[in-house]
Chain A
């Protein structure tokens, strides 16, 4: 098995993580489905309030591409369809009832082995699971092989990136995320079947593993393995593993498959039905109980919140608590009234840190979270540090300290990439390897001038997508 050596990255030891706690099984009368901010997704909802839906029924699809489908994973009645600003779909809310199910046909492991590539892909599209494959670079839903090119505003064909391979990571290196062990518990057979199905698509499959990964998952024939160090962020990210597998050429992309999606694939192929289960987790300084729990897909944020011991009303009304769906570096802010996404399974509850500590730059800083050796905390290797939402300073010009170069896992020079992105210089951005950026957020995290590098680089990528 090939070991991947990453020069950049960062080893975090942050307090208030998910930990080992099992918070049991959570349930909720209502669940919500939404495309979790997927790019280039304009939802066309096909159900109406009051409709009865069965598990496996189509709820909405992408107006721009009908292959992007979101199905209900439970049966019940549509309670509400919520839109946010600019009519972005926030949730199709379903009140759960009954056991009505659509079957997509079940396959035995032998039958899976004889599936053709086209049939496999068609099955993944039909069950809505293909919509969860995100491309790297650019984080779009991976184009289904052979589908027509999308048009730009002038009606010209936009270039379609060609899919090269699938990436699955069995490693989670981001602080404060549900541990992969908890997700895989009882699901290993499904995950293995998921890998088989991915192989049947005819594309290469690469899996990232660590020394702690279950040995069954490490020995699937026909899967290329990359062993990474799980204590190093972001070694667990499929994008990083892809960089160390084979650099992408222009116009190529890989599909990153999330662990829950992989298990979903195995489940739907084996049973013919959509899986209605997720492994959730709560973490963060603001949660009084931390740990992981099982629950249905589309769980309300409030349910997770109360499982963490925080009365849901309290945090909702308080502006001094931040709810984040996902990890500390890559997660998204989420509202307490919303629902967890299909692949966002961790809720972080973080108190907003507006503390105005006097003479902070004077202090030894034994508990400061840092990548620099400027605080005494750098000497205390084993000690957990507390992550807060404080910006820890004000925005300044880039002082060329070079720290962002040091931490970038894919060996870019973020200080140059962000300047090229600011200048909207596409050629320069491409030369500097902007496509390899994995959105890990480390450069933004370390910058002593508090420059929003990630955001600026992201805007550069969006520019490239738009201009083709």
Chain B
């Protein structure tokens, strides 16, 4: 089989075999080395090298994300059924339904992301970096299942091109590419991203088999209904995310009570609530965190920092909660902040991206802490952005070189004194 593959590679490597005059070595080589270990040997001492390369690194992140994917898929299906009042859908049905929503997003993300990587590799003549494998895995998880496909295409393109390639590719980017893409969508298409209603309409209607519903239209209707302050629910099911509930500002309604009436903390921990595909289940995120820390791929310092920062700021704001000057969100118990929205997901999978975070141990703690605190501030003080995590991480991405700079400077000073 590899003989045949080699023939293809050789043929394609002939000058201009694929796209006429354009040499396509980078593209072919990338595909080839993706499937097989490259034949490169060490040039000099050290004569041996660690077995780990970036591909393995990134593969580990993808493994860590699997529970989020599996549960997220099920949950999308489950909530889609709930939204039409079907409460007895089986595990299988929910998962199948979820797959119909999630799979196209994943496939599309990889196609578009891979295309951009390929184009840049081709034009610049460098290798295709494996970075987009993880960006591509993360991207759908932080998006609502109701996202129109054309918006996904725009978001992924923005994330890969502006978030990474304009900086010079892997290792050079300042911002997390997946979050950059999401931020773009958030500001360009607030209706779909604001987190109010993120429940897809089922394709498969009830037990009657495949009966595609025009789910995007229905979702838009629901959003409009929600914005107009009307209950958008079918059979009392609102579909609003927990964050949207807590941030609502309806006179006479206690947002926190309303939140608790809809979702219990345990719902939020297990994840049976609407939200972005991958973020809802804290249990699955915890598995990912455990795996990342165990393998050393994700920095536990960053994660601990984020949770500590979030808890501290949550507590502080709780202190102001009694005042009538502030909105209801201030009274949200601090620990609920940590299980709501993408806080946990962001802490474990987004903040730990090594490229856009600081490299030093101490800096990572500081960086994490600031992300956590900032996220809670953005959420509460400005309920127009109930999803503070994305902005907090992107903001700290920008400052991570600065944190490193100060930490290293103090290291240099201490060292000079010994």
Contact = CB atoms under 8 A, between A and B. Distances in A.
Main secondary structure of the interface of A (DSSP, over half): loop
B178 to A, nearest CB: 15
A294 to B, nearest CB: 26
A449 interface: yes
Nearest to A402: B359
A333 B44 contact: yes
Given A373-B295, A397-B172, A354 B39 contact: yes
A388 interface: yes
Given A352-B41, A357-B37, A399-B54, A374 B60 contact: yes
A328 interface: yes
A390 B40 contact: yes
B352 to A, nearest CB: 11
B408 interface: yes
A433 interface: yes
Given A333-B44, A397-B170, A361 B50 contact: no
B289 to A, nearest CB: 15
B50 A392 contact: yes
A374 B57 CA distance: 7
B38 A393 contact: yes
A328 B47 contact: yes
Nearest to B355: A399
Interface residues of A, number: 69
Nearest to B169: A397
Contacts of A441: 45-46
Contact of A388 (B2, B48, B169): B48
A454 B47 CA distance: 12
Contacts of A354: 39, 41
Interface in A340-361: 348, 350, 352-361
Contacts of B44: 332-333, 452, 455
B54 A444 contact: no
A117 interface: no
Given A390-B41, A399-B354, A433-B415, A322 B47 contact: yes
A356 B49 contact: no
Interface string A420-451: 00000000000111000000011011111110
B92 interface: no
Contacts of B2: 356, 358
A398 B171 contact: yes
Interface string A394-418: 1111111110010000000101100
Given A399-B355, A402-B359, A371 B50 contact: yes
Given A372-B50, A432-B412, A448-B56, A394 B33 contact: yes
A331 B40 contact: no
A399 B171 contact: yes
A324 interface: yes
Contact of A393 (B54, B294, B359, B418): B54
A250 B75 CA distance: 63
B312 interface: no
Contact of B45 (A331, A372, A399): A331
B324 interface: no
Given A394-B38, A397-B170, A330 B46 contact: yes
A70 B295 CA distance: 51
Nearest to B415: A433
A387 interface: yes
A247 interface: yes
Contacts of A448: 50, 52-54, 56-57
B296 interface: yes
By CB atoms of chain A within 10 A, which of B2, B38, B48, B294 has the most? B48
B170 A374 contact: no
Contact of A328 (B46, B296, B359): B46
A365 interface: yes
A375 B60 CA distance: 10
A368 interface: yes
B344 to A, nearest CB: 23
Contacts of A333: 44
Contacts of A391: 38, 40-42, 49
A451 to B, nearest CB: 10
Contacts of B35: 358-359
A368 B50 CA distance: 8
Contacts of A389: 41-42, 47-48
A433 B408 CA distance: 12
B73 interface: no
A370 interface: yes
A445 B359 contact: no
A413 B171 contact: no
B127 interface: yes
Contact of B53 (A329, A331, A348, A392): A392
Interface in B1-56: 2, 33, 35-56
Nearest to B413: A431
Contact of A394 (B60, B127, B171, B172): B127
B297 interface: yes
A256 to B, nearest CB: 17
Contacts of A442: 46
B46 A392 contact: no
A14 B299 CA distance: 28
A360 B53 CA distance: 10
Contacts of B358: 400
B51 A445 contact: no
A369 B54 contact: no
Contact of B357 (A358, A368, A400, A454): A400
B49 A450 contact: yes
10 contacts: A322-B41, A324-B45, A329-B46, A358-B2, A370-B52, A373-B295, A387-B47, A401-B359, A413-B411, A449-B53
Given A390-B42, A399-B57, 8 more contacts: A14-B48, A359-B36, A365-B51, A393-B52, A396-B53, A397-B171, A448-B50, A449-B54
Interface of A: 14, 247, 322, 324, 326, 328-333, 348, 350, 352-362, 365, 368-375, 377, 387-402, 405, 413, 415-416, 431-433, 441-442, 444-450, 452, 454-455
Closest 4 CB pairs of A and B: A397-B171, A393-B53, A368-B51, A441-B46
